[in-house]
A and B are shown apart, each in its own frame.
Chain A
Amino acid sequence: MTPVPYFDVLKGLGAEVILTLTALVALTLDLASVRRAEMSVRSRTIGTTAVVGLLASTLPLWQQLNGPRMVLLGGTLAMDDLIIFFKLVIVALAVITVLISMDFDVGRHVGEYYAVLLFGAVGMMLLISAEELITIFVALELTSVSLYILTAFHKGELRSQEAAVKYFMFGAISSAFLLFGLSYVFGVTGATGLQAIQDAVKNTGGLAMSPLLATGLLFTIVGFGFKVAVVPFHLWAPDAYEGAPTPVTAYIATGSKVASFFILLKVLFIGFAGLQGSAFWGNFASGWTMLLAVTATLSMILGNCAAIVQHNVKRLLAYSSIAQAGYIFIGLVAATKMGANSVLFYIIVYALANLGAFGVVAALSSRAGGDEMQNFDGMARRAPFLSLLMLIFVLSLAGIPPLGGFFGKFYLFASAVQRDAQHFGLLWLVILGIVMSAVSLYYYLILLKHIYVIDGSDQSPIITPTYLNVALGLVALAVVALGVYPKPILELLNNFSYSVIAGLVR
């Protein structure tokens, strides 16, 4: 047995190590020195510490950028430019989340809050570099458990507790599904590394020959389906989103989604590369593209239709997230390099727009007295700047040009049509996606109507801290930039994603 190269591991996981240490510092700092200080001071101090730690954690990442692909611990963790890029995305999302939280009442346990938030970021980053089933599972659990705890942070509020319990129950069951599925996959292939699974799958003769493998695949997808909240595994999402403290909702809807989609992409495109089946119209064949096509269909229809009747902004955004997950699945169903690119691009745009939207909701709802639609009446006059940002975020989610969401959606749909361009095999899914986007515009506009059109009874201006305005403004700028000039990031992704889809058939 070869000795474990601990030093290499430490170097490879520098960012995660720094974040873990920062989390411990945050805990100690809170306990040791600022516990007796005022709440706002505590929150600011610990929050700033967390931001500094997050920024520091990017240093090792920058160093590793443009380096060769590195594999740690016998292939369980990998490092390449794509992975580093997405770790940076996670850091950025976490920084914004921390900034939103600093302006939000997170209860008495400030130190614990930020520490758990950072642990969650560590989990997400590990998830992104994981390429082996057990590591994937452990990282996923680290992320999920952190999020369960964060969801319950509104101690006094019943709906926060309820949301946390619900989220935990569903999460635990989904973990069970995932573990069950993964164990079958291991049983059939005898491997846990994604690349090794891919090689072994080729020898099994596919799903038809191996019902065990089919069960494993199905259960794995069910498990991930819970994590990314697609119909019919979405039931936890609206309650968890609504009940959790809003910054936490933002974190669940963005950071954890990005990491989950990224790992799902890797598992499917590398591990199950030989098992796509087919989702072409009139030519279905069992495999994961077919399963995903079905869940995408259900998510887009149910997510968008259920969002129409919502009165709570967070709940509305929750259903919109379910629908968005459906769109993202379309890119996965394409199962091509272009599909992978489009998914990676879209999750970035989606995360930014959603983070921004929840950020604005967090900042405004705490000052307007609630997160029901009516609380946002006349907001365009009370907080013109944040309202403008909300307009950008929401329209990006709706897919209106020239914002990032439009190009992202276009790219997803284009990749699906391109897959079988001669016979338009996936056009049915794309048509559904486009029609459902048109439906979604309705409820997004209803939300904007409350902000811009309806006059509220309260006309007093709302002042928000400058750092928050700047941070959210930058997010909005990024959303616009990704739509107006997506070229640089597309080129980056295009160069990167060779490593992800190396094992793909096409």
Chain B
Amino acid sequence: MQVDWTIYLTLLGMGLILLLPRESKTLIRWVALLTGVAALLVALKDYFNYNAWVNAQISAHGALQDGFVQIVNVPWIPAINTNYHLAVDGISFPLIVLNGFVCVTGILFSWNVETRVKEFFAFFLTLIAGVYGVFMAMDLFLLFVFYELAIIPKYFVIAIWGSTRKEYGAMKLVLYSFMGSALVFIGMLAVYFSAGGQTFDILELAKHPIAPNVQVWVFPLIFVGFGVLAGMWPFHTWAPTGHVAAPTAASMLLAGVVMKLGSYGCFRAAMLLFPQGLEHWKWWIAWLAVVGIVYGAAVALVQKDFKFIIGYSSVSHMGFVLLGLATLNLIGMSGAILQMFSHGIVASLLFAVVGRMVYDRTHTRQLDKLGGLAKVIPFACVTFVVAGAASMGMPGFSGFVAEYQILVGAFHMHPLLALAAGLSIPLTVAYILNANDKVFMEQDQPADGGGHGHDHKPGSGGPHPSLPPITLPERVAAIILMALLVIVGVYPSIMLNMIKANVQLFLRGAP
């Protein structure tokens, strides 16, 4: 079983769930979980094989010759010369594994979903399958198909199971994504016909030199089109509202993986195919990224809703990814790819704390109504502190390795970029600590916020005297994610080796 089975297994699991009766909720959950685990194991097995192969190549030749593992390449629709072409390299592997982990932990964190369980997991797994597909597709048309496949389920997951203006958030998110993909669509047709209308294969297209004047206007279409989903400022506004409205598993997936679809598309489609376009626009991208970084962090600082803080922090951290990509040097770009993985885990963890551990128990996310939770649910507090520390870029966690490299890369591009982006670090520290303080500490806060029908008992140990304890699935999932943060933080070469080798290939101009 090669890594493409992640897609098929997930779809099979989805089909199986559709066949099950909707009353057997436990069975459906287990089927979903086993599907997720099976896909993750397949992905991990190939990940380590690939890692070993890369290391062997490097020790033998000093560098990679060709980073891709071809999986399948068969003609699909000859009328438009598109192939069913799946291949993986050191850029996509970390993201595939990330998707696997977020899928499994997302299912664990959704164990308490009780309404319309069957439909929930069916939509969820469809989304997961689409994401796996995007990270493997090496045919532009196929990539687009998988990319769109991942958009529609998001609408239903958010609109049905979400909270806080869910229908608005869902519609906004989907329309933004769809507008983005409309731009990609136009760019895709343009690049196809500019390269002679012979192939949609990304690796083949990359060999066709496309006229510079075409590159200059098509590159921004595709980059911005994907960038919308990556939370690129000023097209980021779907992200906070969407994340906040989404149910826990969906916001984990949105911030953790779906935003990476955007940045991955930027890298794989826009940057690979249009080197001259990239050269022309890279300063714009870098500065917009920096604006996004600082803006996201600053806005997060003044939020009153716990989930909005995390939502805006995602915009800020995704800015780092785009900044790293725009540096066009080894260290900055490697950092960007690692940041995609790292932020995927951090964001999932943070949204799990906010959505599942806190909101599902207290039914509020307002900072001034929360407080003293460290005593009631200490596990949530620990998780938040770990994830928050990784988010701030504390050494020892993956976030540090990634953001440090990006800042060094940005410094090489222009010192001012690094300086401006660095401004966000104290801001991040501030909003994480502030949230930690308001939600988990501040035991003796007056409970005047509890006068709206909530069962707050003033004077009996904070606004939340007793809450249901953290369940086993939550603990397992949180520990898995925290372990990943530490493993990659302490031993980054487990991921960084393959990333660096492939970024080197990219910088040498090879696809």
Contacts and interface: CB of A to CB of B under 8 A. Distances in A.
Interface in B19-78: 22, 75-78
A108 interface: no
Contacts of B186: 427, 430-431, 434
B148 A442 contact: no
A56 interface: no
Contacts of B152: 395, 400
B185 A414 contact: no
Contact of A441 (B77, B156, B178): B178
Contacts of A445: 155, 171, 174
A498 B444 CA distance: 82
Contacts, number: 87
Contact of A411 (B76, B78, B80, B148): B80
A341 B160 contact: no
User: Chain A's interface: helix, strand, loop or mixed, by majority?
Assistant: helix
Interface string B120-142: 00000000000000000000010
A380 interface: yes
Contact of A402 (B75, B145, B175): B145
Interface in B184-202: 185-186, 189-190, 192-194, 197
A449 B145 CA distance: 23
Contact-residue bracket for chain A: 35 or more
A402 B76 CA distance: 13
B77 A406 contact: no
A406 B22 CA distance: 30
B77 A453 contact: no
B149 A402 contact: yes
Contacts of A395: 152
A434 B190 contact: no
Contacts of B185: 410, 413, 434
Contacts of B156: 448, 452-453
A284 interface: no
Contacts of B174: 441, 445
A421 interface: yes
A76 interface: no
Contacts of A431: 186
Given A434-B185, A434-B186, A442-B171, A417 B193 contact: yes
Contacts of A424: 190, 193
Contacts of B1: none
B159 A453 contact: yes
Contact of B77 (A380, A413, A434, A486): A486
A483 to B, nearest CB: 9
B119 interface: yes
B179 interface: yes
A162 to B, nearest CB: 34
B77 A449 contact: no
A437 interface: yes
Contacts of B144: 401
Contact-residue bracket for chain B: 35 or more
B182 interface: yes
A448 B123 CA distance: 14
Interface in A451-489: 452-453, 486-487
A418 interface: yes
Contact of A414 (B80, B116, B159, B179): B80
Contacts of B182: 434-435, 437-438
A431 B76 CA distance: 25
Given A414-B189, A437-B182, A421 B160 contact: no
A431 B151 CA distance: 21
Contact of B76 (A400, A487, A491): A487
B159 A421 contact: no
Nearest to B196: A421
A35 B145 CA distance: 53
Contacts of A452: 119, 156, 159-160
Given A402-B149, A437-B182, A449-B159, 14 more contacts: A338-B79, A380-B119, A401-B145, A401-B149, A411-B79, A417-B189, A418-B193, A438-B178, A441-B174, A441-B178, A442-B175, A448-B156, A487-B75, A491-B79
| The 4 residue pairs across chains A and B that have the minimum distance between CB atoms | A421-B193, A401-B145, A490-B79, A453-B159
Interface of A: 338, 341, 380-381, 384, 395, 400-402, 406-407, 410-411, 413-414, 417-418, 421, 424, 427, 430-431, 434-435, 437-438, 441-442, 445, 448-449, 452-453, 486-487, 490-491, 494
20 contacts: A400-B151, A417-B189, A417-B190, A418-B197, A421-B193, A424-B193, A427-B189, A427-B190, A430-B186, A435-B182, A438-B175, A442-B175, A445-B155, A452-B119, A453-B156, A486-B77, A487-B79, A490-B78, A491-B78, A494-B79
